[in-house]
Amino acid sequence: MKNNFYSACKEANEEIATLFDGAIEEHHYKKYEVGAGGDRSSGLDLMAEAIFVKHLGRFGTIESEESGLIGEGEETIVLDPLDGSSNALSNFPYFGTSVARIDKDGVLQDAVVCNLVSKEIFLKSPETPTRKGKLFSAQMGELARVPHAEIGIFEKAYAHPKIVAGLQKMGLKFRAPGAVALSLAYAHTVNFVLFAGQYRIYDFAAGLAFCEDLEVIVEEDYVIVSQSKELVHSLESLVRTSLYEHER
């Protein structure tokens, strides 16, 4: 498989992962101004962003969650340089990166999501089915489903107690790990992925590309993914009731 963009993304992720495996300097934990995505950027975010700009700048304009538009070019690279920043700052082992390359016609060409802790890297591109590999390795394999998964993922669960209560009534177990794109890349291995909150392109541009063969509902205030059409619609009913109860 020859994909120069993926190779550049992989090299960037390997450089970032190597830094995380070493001693992170204290200034990288400092918080700075609010970034383009609406959250305050940390030194870790900006460190990862600089590495991606170095490796991906030649491919087009980078639209980063931290600094907004960087560089120029016909294609757009939508970048979350550190997916799960709070996890990384807390040394909680679930964080990664998210990159989507979009051509001048607005069509997604490549999506790359990486787990910097497990070193797993995921690729979706037009010329190949979804693949999963490892940093520092050339081997890649197909992304397989887990048909009897016992848990789902509910990102932003802390902000939605009514939905949490509804999931408990439905007997659905879930985790809330705190890295949206990364959770979507793992959608084939869990019962469902649910996100409730403001839709941001940085969270979903790459992650949703890995869900195209699953059941997906995308709305302004929520995103639901599952292997089961029945479960997707049951979850949507719960979410809509919980979010829009005051409108009834």
pLDDT at 117 over 70: yes
pTM of the shown model: 0.93
CA-to-CA dists, residue 218 to 10, 36, 56, 145, 160, angstroms: 28, 22, 28, 21, 18
Q: What is the mean pLDDT of residues 31-51?
A: 79
Q: What is the mean pLDDT of residues 91-114?
A: 96
Q: What is the mean pLDDT of residues 21-43?
A: 72
Tokens of 125: 């591109």
Query: Element (H or E) spanning 33, and its range?
Result: strand 31-34
Q: Tens digit of pLDDT for each residue in 185-223?
A: 999 999 999 999 989 999 999 999 999 999 999 999 999
pLDDT at 128 over 80: no
pLDDT at residue 24, as a whole number: 78
Contact between residue 49 and residue 85 where contact means Cβ atoms under 8 Å apart: no
pLDDT at residue 122, as a whole number: 97
pLDDT at 160 over 90: yes
How many CB atoms sit inside 10 A of residue 64's CB?
A: 24
Half-sphere exposure of 139 (CA within 13 A, CB side): 3
Q: What is the mean pLDDT of the chain?
A: 92
Half-sphere exposure of 23 (CA within 13 A, CB side): 2
Half-sphere exposure of 89 (CA within 13 A, CB side): 20
Question: pLDDT grade, residue 248 (50/70/90)?
Answer: very low
pLDDT at residue 166, as a whole number: 98
> Percent helix, strand, coil in the chain (nearest 5)?
35, 30, 35
Q: What is the mean pLDDT of residues 140-165?
A: 94
How many CB atoms sit inside 10 A of residue 50's CB?
A: 14
The residue type of 123 is L
Contact between residue 194 and residue 217 where contact means Cβ atoms under 8 Å apart: no
pLDDT at residue 38, as a whole number: 62
What CA–CA distance (Å, rounded) separates 59 from 239?
39
% of the chain surpassing 90 pLDDT: 82
pLDDT at residue 1, as a whole number: 46
Q: Which residues pair with 237 in a beta bridge?
A: none
Residue in the structure block whose two tokens are 């409108």? 247
Angle at which helices 229-243 and 161-169 cross, to 10°: 140
Q: Tens digit of pLDDT for each residue in 169-193?
A: 999 999 999 999 999 999 999 999 9
What CA–CA distance (Å, rounded) separates 222 from 180?
12
Q: What is the mean pLDDT of residues 143-172?
A: 96
pLDDT at residue 208, as a whole number: 97
pLDDT at residue 127, as a whole number: 73
pLDDT at residue 238, as a whole number: 98
C-alpha closest to that of 62 among 71, 50, 51, 49 = 71
Domains of the chain: 4-142 (3.30.540.10), 151-247 (3.40.190.80)
Q: What is the mean pLDDT of residues 7-31?
A: 88
Contact between residue 197 and residue 224 where contact means Cβ atoms under 8 Å apart: no
Rounded to a whole number of angstroms, the CA Rg of the chain reads: 18
pLDDT at residue 211, as a whole number: 95
